[in-house]
Amino acid sequence: MAACSFDLQFQYVAASWEGSAGDMKVLQWALHRGGFSVPKGKYYLADSGYANTHQFVAPYWGNRYHLSEFEN
């Protein structure tokens, strides 16, 4: 798991999990045991492997974004 700022600077990196670990499980570990924290008043944009939670914004499942990219 890696988190970076808008200026593309890494803020957090955790490489101790195998590829089969679920995204939310790794995030929960990072928040509770791995030393990862989100500054007050800030949010992280996440991919669809994560749930929308406090301070994490993920796209909704089933919605197709960038529809023009899917047109024939």
pTM beyond 0.75: no
Chain centroid, CA 38 distance in Å? 12
- Confidence at residue 49, expressed as pLDDT on a 0 to 100 scale: 81
Percent of the chain scoring above 90 in pLDDT: 18
Please tell me the predicted confidence (pLDDT) of residue 33: 92
pLDDT digit string (tens) for 29-63?
998 999 999 889 989 988 888 888 889 998 877 76
CB-count exposure of residue 69 (10 Å: 0-12, 13-18, 19+):
exposed
